[in-house]
Amino acid sequence: MGSGGGALGLSSPLFANGHLSSSSNSTSLPLPVEDGNHLAMVKPSSSIVNLPHYKWRLLVAYDGTRYAGWQFQVSPPTIQCIVEKALIQITKLERECLHFVGASRTDTGVHAWGQVAHFITPFNYDSLETIHAALNGLLPSGIRVREISAATPEFHARFSAKSKVYHYKIYNDTIMDPFQRHYVYHSVYKLNSAAMREAAKMFIRKHDFSAFVNASRNDRVPDPVKTIFRFDVIEMGPLIQLEVEGSGFLYRQVRNMVALLIQIGKEAIPTEIVPKILATLDRRELAKYALSAPPHGLCLVSVKYNQEHLLLPSDCPTTSFGRHHTITKCKLPFY
């Protein structure tokens, strides 16, 4: 499987004419390689020059409880590291050749149902069902690849994203449901959901969210101006689900917004505090009222793209959604 030998090439290769440059200087020029989501320039290996390149899109779900977030690091383990190791084992490619990138760098303990990632191979696949089954066979049970599809050269899991949707779940009752304890934050304080809903609306529109970002030593200086398209507060019995969709989010921005809404729900502070804190552009101002909400209540639900970024290349293998096992003969006796 790793060699992909004998497979027909896609009509939309990653680079012009389906190959890296074959000029006399091509082996001495550095190539951009993404380490997690950071670009680095590396000298191309002679083994990857003049090979066709094909791009593949993954839809990944994971329970983030035991992992140190998405972004690559070996210890403690991250989701990207574990999925990447499985891809290396299956494709027999080096890490720098895969160019494996995720759409969102979820933090330690945060879950995902709809993380999107892409990787590159110098060979095509006739069918994606086999590699799909192999990936899930190698991955731990808390990480699952839900879909694999071919992607166009222009698609980029992170930079093509139009918006991201996160849900934060709060169990608002005196006694916590033990079956939800790893995925839902427990608030023993009775929360005023109407006040939370009113305050959440104040985050909608384009804002500078400097007051809601935590410093991260791993990040380059981000653009603090983001657009929140919707921020809904939905009650389902004792469960309060906060659903936020935005053009992008800063480090711990969602958890910081949720933390403030919880304080407002407790009626400890008024709803009008939201625009006041936003206007300060100062994280220290938010710290006077709330700390970050715990990570286990947060889940990346989906990443949205413009339709043209989701088009499949011509003559590509069919998208794999996994396959059911079947039996041709009943092995149990009839009674």
Q: Tell me the per-residue pLDDT of 198-208, one tens digit each, with 9 for 90 and over.
A: 999 999 999 99
Which of the residue ranges 45-49, 119-123, 197-201, 259-263 would you say has the lowest mean pLDDT? 45-49
Predicted pLDDT at 335: 57
Are 148 and 173 members of one domain? Answer: no
Q: CATH code at 209?
A: 3.30.70.660
Cis check: omega of the bond before 76, within 30 degrees of 0: yes
Among candidate residues 114, 112, 111, 87, the one with its CA nearest the CA of residue 99: 87
Report if residue 215 sits inside a domain.
Answer: yes
Task: Please say whether the beta carbons of 150 and 166 come within 8 A.
Answer: no
Which of the residue ranges 37-46, 111-120, 154-163, 273-282 would you say has the lowest mean pLDDT? 37-46
Are 166 and 154 members of one domain? Answer: no
Which of the residue ranges 150-159, 219-228, 260-269, 296-305 would you say has the lowest mean pLDDT? 219-228
Are 93 and 189 members of one domain? Answer: no
Predicted pLDDT at 331: 65
Provide the token pair at 234: 């939905």
- Domain boundary (111, 142, 159) is at 159
CA–CA dist 42, 28 (Å, integer): 10
**How open is the CA angle 286-289-294, to the nearest 5 degrees?**
85
pLDDT at 10 over 60: no
**How open is the CA angle 142-147-153, to the nearest 5 degrees?**
125
Are 296 and 191 members of one domain? Answer: yes
What is the pLDDT confidence band of residue 12, given thresholds at 50, 70 and 90?
Answer: very low
CA–CA dist 196, 243 (Å, integer): 12
Report if residue 321 sits inside a domain.
Answer: no
| 3-state secondary structure string across the chain | CCCCCCCCCCCCCCCHHHCCCCCCCCCCCCEEEEECCEEEEECCCCCCCCCCCEEEEEEEEECHHHCCCCCCCCCCCCHHHHHHHHHHHHHCCCHHHHCCEECCCCCCCCEEEEEEEEEEECCCCCCCHHHHHHHHHHCCCCEEEEEEEEECCCCCCCCCEEEEEEEEEEECCCCCCHHHCCCCEECCCCCCHHHHHHHHHCCCEEEECHHHCCCCCCCCCCCCEEEEEEEEEEEECCEEEEEEEECCCCCCHHHHHHHHHHHHHCCCCCCCHHHHHHHHCCHHHHHCCCCCCCHHHEEEEEEEECHHHHCCCCCCCCCECCCCCCCCCCCCCCC
pLDDT at 292 over 90: yes
CA–CA dist 321, 22 (Å, integer): 37
Out of 35, 63, 107, 219, the active site residue is: 107
Are 146 and 193 members of one domain? Answer: no
Among candidate residues 145, 160, 113, 169, the one with its CA nearest the CA of residue 319: 145
Q: What is the mean pLDDT of residues 30-38?
A: 40
Are 241 and 286 members of one domain? Answer: yes
Q: Tell me the per-residue pLDDT of 83-118, one tens digit each, with 9 for 90 and over.
A: 999 999 999 999 999 999 999 999 999 999 999 999
Which of the residue ranges 29-33, 43-47, 169-173, 325-329 would you say has the lowest mean pLDDT? 29-33
Report if residue 144 sits inside a domain.
Answer: yes
Are 66 and 81 members of one domain? Answer: yes
Are 150 and 182 members of one domain? Answer: no
Report if residue 227 sits inside a domain.
Answer: yes
Determine the structural domain holding residue 297 and report its residue range.
Answer: 162-302
Tally of residues, the chain: 335
- Domain boundary (159, 191, 214) is at 159
pLDDT at 287 over 70: yes
Are 120 and 58 members of one domain? Answer: yes
CA–CA dist 225, 205 (Å, integer): 10
Report if residue 328 sits inside a domain.
Answer: no
Predicted pLDDT at 324: 85
pLDDT at 275 over 60: yes
Q: What is the mean pLDDT of residues 143-152?
A: 97
Provide the token pair at 1: 């499987």
Domain count for the chain: 2
pLDDT at 131 over 90: yes
pLDDT at 150 over 70: yes
Predicted pLDDT at 43: 42
What is the pLDDT confidence band of residue 224, given thresholds at 50, 70 and 90?
Answer: very high
Are 79 and 111 members of one domain? Answer: yes
Q: What is the mean pLDDT of residues 229-255?
A: 97
Predicted pLDDT at 72: 87
**How open is the CA angle 202-205-211, to the nearest 5 degrees?**
65
Q: What is the dihedral of CA 308, 311, 313, 315, to 10 degrees?
A: -150
- Domain boundary (94, 127, 159) is at 159
Q: What is the mean pLDDT of residues 75-84?
A: 94
Percent with pLDDT over 90 in the chain: 75
Predicted pLDDT at 125: 94
Residue owning tokens 């290996």: 45
Report if residue 232 sits inside a domain.
Answer: yes
Report if residue 8 sits inside a domain.
Answer: no
Q: CATH code at 92?
A: 3.30.70.580
Are 155 and 166 members of one domain? Answer: no
Is 107 a residue of the active site? yes
Report if residue 313 sits inside a domain.
Answer: no
Among candidate residues 148, 104, 124, the one with its CA nearest the CA of residue 13: 124
pTM of the model: 0.82
Among candidate residues 92, 89, 95, the one with its CA nearest the CA of residue 36: 95
Are 205 and 290 members of one domain? Answer: yes
